[in-house]
Amino acid sequence: MAHFSNSRAPYWALGLLFGLLMLPNGALLWLGWPHFPMTGRIALPLSVLLTLGWFALFGSRLWLGCLLLAPAALLMPLQLFYAVNYAAPASVTVLGTLAASSTAESQQYMGRALGPMIAACGLCLLVALAAAWLAWRHRLRWQGRTRRRVLAAACLALLAVLAADFAKGSPEAGAPENRLTQTADAALRRIGQQLTAGYPSGTPLLLAQFGHYQYTARAAIDALADYRFGARLSTPTPGRQVYVLVVGESSQRGHWQLFGYPRATNPELSTEPNLVPISRMVSAFTQTMTALPVMLTRKPATAPGTALWPEASLVRAMREAGFETWWISNQYPTGPYDSTVAVYASEAEHVRWLNYSALNQGGNVDGALLAPLRQAIAGAHGNLFIVLHMLGSHEAYDARYPADFAHFKPVESQRDTQVPDWQRTLNSYDNTIRYTDFVLARIIDTLKASHAISALWFASDHGETLPSPTCDERGHGHQNRPEYQIPALFWYSGAYGQAFPERVATLRAHADQRTASASVFPSILDMAGVRIPDAPTAAQRSLFSPEWRFQTRWVNQFWLTDYDRTLVGPGCFAFEKPL
């Protein structure tokens, strides 16, 4: 320090401010984060160094550095609350859920901590303001050799992270999945998780990413705001109709008991009457943000994955036909892989985002969808169309089901065993399918209890590659054959079967045919008796139509591929022939 004060108060205030800002980082280290060690080993120490560098930058005006940190001090208790509850740093997806939540939902999220949280935020803000005032009042300055060394170290560390990230390149920067977020997102994401994970150094970048995703999603929503299908309900019925579309996640058909898997992964659905498995459906893409537009809109699989399709979704069509529409999601409204889907969710009259947890952490499982579903059905009296978006079987697999659903053991997180890693991963994945079975069965129970003319359609966005003794890949986006093979099924109530026996019979006749996810859009419209004028080819894709015809099943690998004529993917096959 070039200027010292005889009073200890400004030093205590500066130290207290610095300590408060470091609390979220300390909590993450204490709780065992990160699960991805390299990110955490860099992010948290880097945040400490960059915060010290911040004070060094304002060495001759320390009061100004403290004052500019007041917003970070104000938000610190919220960051700490999230770190303690989820053992992970807050992300742009979490910010999106919080921003999309109503006041009541936010209060429910905070629970009894809301009052103390408000007080803690106010207290931390006062600490920052007090530190700024005391530094100004006592004319504290940080100059000399130590300040220059700290500032140089912070700058070099930041440049090293940026250089390393640019050298390896952003794996998503040029990928076809980034149809809404390719340009600015690629630049932002090159800075990497090493910065956004730390507090408070990562907060400005986190907010910049959030603003970018919000802007691009809003632009897409505005572009489709005036689109109309001219849809209408062509078959009046004497009773109320309630239809539910459940969108699965990363679910591979080859691991479903309903489709011949030897393990009991579908103990409830396998005994459910009025259930029709759609046994040979494939997805056009192996990533959610490109797969779902083909399922939910009339976008053909042959269109580029990066192109924004200039039509609204199935939700808009059902709404035009007089259905009250809901979108209830256990995924996220904001993020590099989520903003596209949020565009379609925004077309619903009622939207609920339920998930506040990090994707790879334990948190909301898909059972969280059940209570809002019951509320939606109980709170409306007319026709309803409800989309439920699951987290399903997305990695990390052990985070996708409650502990008491660990039916197949040992699971992936159990490391004190001689069972090989690939077998434990398989067990965990099969547990996710078994839990999906449970949730779907409860959704069916809810529809039965409504006593409405009701039906459920389930389809996963894409499949999953799983490791084995001969395969070291896992996840999706590898373009292996199992990633295109998706489970789909239709369940109908007794009242639906009585009202529309010809629809059920036609679907059963087509259920074992080779079909693709592009059939979901026209099939659901036919299931509900909704017609769109000037759609001459829709009947040929709808599994409920007598005019259904086989269509070439185009899928996107690194190029457009005929799924039935080409062996897709270099390895890790679930089946040796196309299914």
Tell me the per-residue pLDDT of 78-98, one tens digit each, with 9 for 90 and over. 888 888 877 777 777 677 666
Same domain, 197 and 317: no
**Does a structural domain hold residue 329?**
yes
DSSP letters for 321-370: TT-EEEEEESS-SSSTTTHHHHHHHTTSSEEEE---S-TTSS---GGGGH
CA trace torsion 471, 474, 476, 481 (10° rounding): 20
Same domain, 196 and 316: no
Q: What is the pLDDT of residues 350-367, one digit of tens each?
A: 999 988 776 666 668 999
Same domain, 323 and 432: yes
* pLDDT-based confidence at residue 99 (cuts at 50, 70, 90): low
Q: Check whether 64 has a pLDDT greater than 50.
A: yes
3-state secondary structure of 471: strand
Strand-pair partners of 454: 242
CB 513 within 8 A of CB 282: no
Q: Check whether 376 has a pLDDT greater than 50.
A: yes
Same domain, 213 and 270: no
pLDDT at position 83, please?
81
Percent of the chain with pLDDT over 90: 52
**How do 275-282 and 324-329 pair as beta strands?**
unpaired
pLDDT at position 215, please?
80
- Residue 134 phi/psi, 5-degree rounding, is -65, -40
**Does a structural domain hold residue 489?**
yes
Per the model's pLDDT, the better-predicted residue between 413 and 126 turns out to be 126
C-alpha to C-alpha distance for 159 and 571, rounded to whole angstroms: 39
Same domain, 157 and 251: no
pLDDT at position 574, please?
45
pLDDT at position 234, please?
87
**Does a structural domain hold residue 534?**
yes
Instruction: Give me the helices (H) in 31-113, please.
Output: 37-57, 62-68, 70-86, 92-100, 103-110
**Does a structural domain hold residue 1?**
no
Percent of the chain with pLDDT over 70: 84
Q: What is the pLDDT of residues 261-274, one digit of tens each?
A: 999 999 999 999 99
Q: Check whether 505 has a pLDDT greater than 70.
A: yes
Same domain, 301 and 152: no
- Residue 228 phi/psi, 5-degree rounding, is -135, 135
Same domain, 284 and 355: yes
Q: Check whether 313 has a pLDDT greater than 60.
A: yes
Q: What is the pLDDT of residues 127-164, one digit of tens each?
A: 999 999 999 998 888 888 899 999 999 888 878 776 76
* pLDDT-based confidence at residue 393 (cuts at 50, 70, 90): very high
* pLDDT-based confidence at residue 245 (cuts at 50, 70, 90): very high
Q: What is the pLDDT of residues 428-457, one digit of tens each?
A: 999 999 999 999 999 999 999 999 999 999
As to burial, measured by CB atoms within 10 angstroms (0-12 exposed, 13-18 middle, 19+ buried), residue 459 is buried
Query: Hey, what are 247's tokens?
Result: 């969108």
pLDDT at position 337, please?
66
Instruction: Give me the helices (H) in 190-242, please.
Output: 193-196, 203-224
* Domains identified in the chain, total number: 2
pLDDT at position 187, please?
47
Same domain, 401 and 458: yes
pLDDT at position 170, please?
45
Q: Check whether 193 has a pLDDT greater than 90.
A: no
Lookup result for tokens 């109503």: 102
The DSSP 8-state label assigned to residue 138 in this structure reads T
Same domain, 470 and 382: yes
Per the model's pLDDT, the better-predicted residue between 355 and 579 turns out to be 355
Query: Hey, what are 431's tokens?
Result: 């547990």
Q: What is the pLDDT of residues 519-553, one digit of tens each?
A: 999 999 999 999 998 776 778 999 999 999 999 99
pLDDT at position 320, please?
97
**Does a structural domain hold residue 557?**
yes
pLDDT at position 492, please?
98
Same domain, 154 and 299: no
**Does a structural domain hold residue 67?**
yes
pLDDT at position 31, please?
77
**Does a structural domain hold residue 229?**
no
pLDDT at position 112, please?
74
Lookup result for tokens 């009991």: 264
- The residue-averaged pLDDT of 166-174 equals 49
3-state secondary structure of 338: coil
pLDDT at position 481, please?
85
pLDDT at position 512, please?
96
- The residue-averaged pLDDT of 181-185 equals 46
Per the model's pLDDT, the better-predicted residue between 290 and 328 turns out to be 328
Lookup result for tokens 């340009």: 183
pLDDT at position 402, please?
94
In this structure, what CATH number is given to the domain that contains residue 487?
3.40.720.10
Same domain, 206 and 170: yes
**Does a structural domain hold residue 3?**
no
Give the contacts of 554 (CB within 8 A, at least 6 positions apart): 284, 300, 301, 302, 516, 560, 561, 562, 563
Mean pLDDT (the chain) is: 85
Where in the sequence is the domain holding 97, given as residue range(s)?
A: 9-221
- Residue 327 phi/psi, 5-degree rounding, is -130, 115
* pLDDT-based confidence at residue 281 (cuts at 50, 70, 90): very high
Same domain, 199 and 247: no
pLDDT at position 101, please?
62
Of 284-293, 493-502, 516-525, 532-541, least confident by mean pLDDT is 532-541
pLDDT at position 178, please?
44
Q: Check whether 174 has a pLDDT greater than 50.
A: no
Up-side HSE of residue 551: CA atoms within 13 Å toward CB? Answer: 22
